[in-house]
Amino acid sequence: MIRPGPSSPDTGDDVTTQTRRRIIDAATEVFLQDGYVGAKTDEIASVAGASKQTIYKHFGRKEKLFEQIVLDRLGGIGEIFQAAIGELAVTDNVEATLTAVARKFVHAIMQPSHLRVRRLVIAEAGRFPHLGHAYFEAGPERVHAGLASAFEQLTTRGLLRVDEPLLAANHFTWLVVSIPVNKFMFCGDDTRFTQAELDHYADSAVRVFTAAYGVAG
């Protein structure tokens, strides 16, 4: 819904979008540098070249700004994944399509900027569990719900044998991403994997998954 408020009569939508983008990028940088508690709106305003008032107008308080950053990050990965899940539900070649989905997924999730935000959310989940909840719902739970639905359709079509779709969805994604994600979580921001390594994790995860949930023969 587009509804320019009386407080911004001269602001076109493009300008608003650009301003929001600039603030989100600046806030991401400052949050990652200083942590959630250490991040100051003054610093974010300075990096963004915006006033504190503008930040408050667009995002409200720090907590809401952080949620927007998280949702912004997850949105990109969610889009990739929703498209892939759509292909999966209608495929006739489950293993090939699962492999394509797994590869796209692991490459998307292993972007260092995404993983640093992931680590920051975990870091604050003890003190601010609602931030972690927001991430968990918009990220893993959304992906798992979509995958579970695709697995159900493939089971109905006789191409998979899945009795607990949500459990199977969890098995699939954690098989694909756990090895590189956990290594990055613990071993720091310089942790890198080659494309071939990530593809190998994806392919072997699909092999394990289809052995368990595939239709023999």
Select 19 or 180, whichever has its Cβ closest to a second copy. Answer: 180
Select 41 or 204, whichever has its Cβ closest to a second copy. Answer: 204
Q: Phi, psi (5° rounding) for residue 213?
A: -115, 0
Select 107 or 132, whichever has its Cβ closest to a second copy. Answer: 132
Q: How far apart are CA 68 and CA 176, in angstroms?
A: 27
51: buried, middle or exposed (CB in 10 Å: 19+, 13-18, 0-12)?
A: exposed
Q: What b/e sequence results for 159-178 when a residue is b if at least 16 CB atoms lie within 10 Å of its CB, and e otherwise?
A: bbebeebbebbbbbbebbbe
Select 196 or 211, whichever has its Cβ closest to a second copy. Answer: 211
Instruction: Give one word for 49, left, alpha or beta, with left for phi > 0 and alpha for psi -120 to 50.
Output: left
Q: How far apart are CA 152 and CA 164, in angstroms?
A: 9
Dmax (CA) for the chain in angstroms is 65
In the bound complex, what is the minimum distance in angstroms from residue 41's beta carbon to a second copy? 21
Q: How far apart are CA 206 and CA 209, in angstroms?
A: 5
In the bound complex, what is the minimum distance in angstroms from residue 11's beta carbon to a second copy? 35
In the bound complex, what is the minimum distance in angstroms from residue 98's beta carbon to a second copy? 14
In the bound complex, what is the minimum distance in angstroms from residue 13's beta carbon to a second copy? 33
In the bound complex, what is the minimum distance in angstroms from residue 26's beta carbon to a second copy? 19
Select 20 or 171, whichever has its Cβ closest to a second copy. Answer: 171
Select 86 or 129, whichever has its Cβ closest to a second copy. Answer: 129
Q: How far apart are CA 18 and CA 86, in angstroms?
A: 31
In the bound complex, what is the minimum distance in angstroms from residue 192's beta carbon to a second copy? 13
Chain contacts with a second copy (rule: CB under 8 A): 32, 116, 119, 121-126, 129, 132-133, 135-136, 140, 164, 167, 170-171, 174-175, 178-179, 182-183, 185-190, 204-205, 207-209, 211-213
Q: What type of residue sits at position 42?
A: D
